[in-house]
Amino acid sequence: MSTADAAAGAGGATRAAGAAGTGGAARGGAVLPETAAVYWRPRLDAERLRRRGWAWTATSLAHCVPFMATAVLMLALEPLAFPVAAIAVVHAWGIPALYANRGAGVVRARRRVGAGPERIALGLLGDLVGHEARALHARTGLMLERGTLGVWLVGEAGALLVRPGGRRVDCWCVRVDADLPSADRTAHLLLALREDEAGFATVANLAFSGAPWRLRRRLPAERRPALQVAVAAARA
């Protein structure tokens, strides 16, 4: 979607942004056409999202617990095996860290196009949101959007979803045309999210689900304040 194309579709979205400039719910009844490409996936709702989160945690534990158990068993059988047990503990700690690093990758900055198109696209994106969201984007590169599933932070090629209560964050990867200006990519995802929040989560690929503190350690420094703001908003 080019800047001009986004502008054409932004009329209705901008009206929705009047109330949603600080983040709003998706427009009722709309369904993203992209959901047809993943027809085998059930549409996500809060309950399905909760189950996916617990499944992600269970999978992580299934990878980590054997290493921890091995370390404990080796120390119990032979204390001199401490170095090998320590390696097993490092593996147990490293697996969730690798998952979190993959999740952080969905909001890392992508390559930029020319300064002119970037400036124009940034102006269009600014028209879609309110002052607070614009200021946060200027500082962190992420756009905050409140939805029914939680508080979203939208980036250029993915989004973070902080669940209500702020105790879990999901990282969603979405394929976007890499030739677009960065703000155009963000606008594309923001408009899709407003159009059909459940459909957006259904189409996107889950890259990580876990505690915000674990993800925060892997985020680029400039992105971390946005996660802090989103967690505070989810707890409010």
* Rounded-to-integer distance, Cα 215 and Cα 234, Å: 16
Quote the tokens at residue 164. Answer: 């209500």
Can you tell me the mean pLDDT for 104-119?
78
Check whether 11 has a pLDDT greater than 90. no
* Rounded-to-integer distance, Cα 130 and Cα 6, Å: 18
**212: which residues sit within 8 A by CB, 6+ positions away?**
162, 166, 167, 168, 169, 227, 231
pLDDT for the residue numbered 182: 82
Quote the percentage of the chain above a pLDDT of 90.
Answer: 62
